[in-house]
Amino acid sequence: MQNITGVRVVSAAAVVAAVVFGARGLVGTIWLAPWDLPNGLLLVATALAGLAGAVVLVAAVRARDRRALAFAVSVLAFALLWPAPGWATAVLLVVAQGALVAFGVLTVRNEDGVQRAVGWVVTVGASLWFVTALLSNAVLLTALPQEALGIAFSVPGLLQTVAYLAATVLVAVPLLRPVGRGVNALWASAEVR
């Protein structure tokens, strides 16, 4: 019983981290530009997600779960972006993106059905996040018209949101299993089908 509770706690921590960093992808995009979020709120959310990532990391190391380890590394690297010095932010961003791609690839290799499909969304989303973030820092953007620059700089954040929110679905599976069992029990006992 305690093991099941521990898995659910780790899953809840992973969900918190994935949702926070999924939402962080939208911060600074043209869609949220009218609402300037306070730095204090962003710092608290990042610290909370970083602590949740540390919980997942400890559990992943203990269980020798490579998939959870890849997710935890991604979350922790992204959490450390904010306080890191300028040169380290690029390295931490690549580590966060690469670890999220690894999480998606491990999901695709080891799961089936809906989880495998969502694993593909994570893999493709995180890969495109890496490519578009790289291109947004390249000289190629100078050729774009002024009107398109806002959208071009928002694409990496949008892909980050897609990748982390798809990862949320995958890390929430232990939390959703009891709900699925309850729905199946209700369906099996229903008189009208």
User: Is residue 146 situated within a structural domain?
Assistant: yes
Report, as an integer, the average pLDDT of 59-63: 89
Q: Inform me whether the pLDDT recorded for 1 exceeds 70.
A: no
- Which residue in the block uniquely carries the two structure tokens 């306080």? 83
Between CA 133 and CA 148 the distance in angstroms is 16
Q: What number of residues does the chain have? A: 193
Query: C-alpha dihedral over 15, 164, 161, 38, to 10 degrees?
Result: 50
- pTM, two decimals, is 0.84
Q: Inform me whether the pLDDT recorded for 4 exceeds 90.
A: no
User: Is residue 48 situated within a structural domain?
Assistant: yes
Q: What percent of the chain has pLDDT over 70?
A: 78
Opening angle at CA 45, ends 42 and 47, nearest 5: 105
Tell me the pLDDT tens digit for each residue of 137-148: 765 666 667 766
User: Is residue 10 situated within a structural domain?
Assistant: yes
Residue 65 region, left (φ>0) first, then alpha (ψ -120 to 50), else beta? Answer: beta
Between CA 175 and CA 147 the distance in angstroms is 43
Tell me what the pLDDT averaged over the chain comes to: 82
Burial of 42 (0-12, 13-18, 19+ CB in 10 A): middle
- Domains: count for the chain: 1
H or E element in which residue 166 lies: helix 146-171
* Structural domain harbouring 122: 2-172
Q: Inform me whether the pLDDT recorded for 98 exceeds 90.
A: yes
User: Is residue 179 situated within a structural domain?
Assistant: no
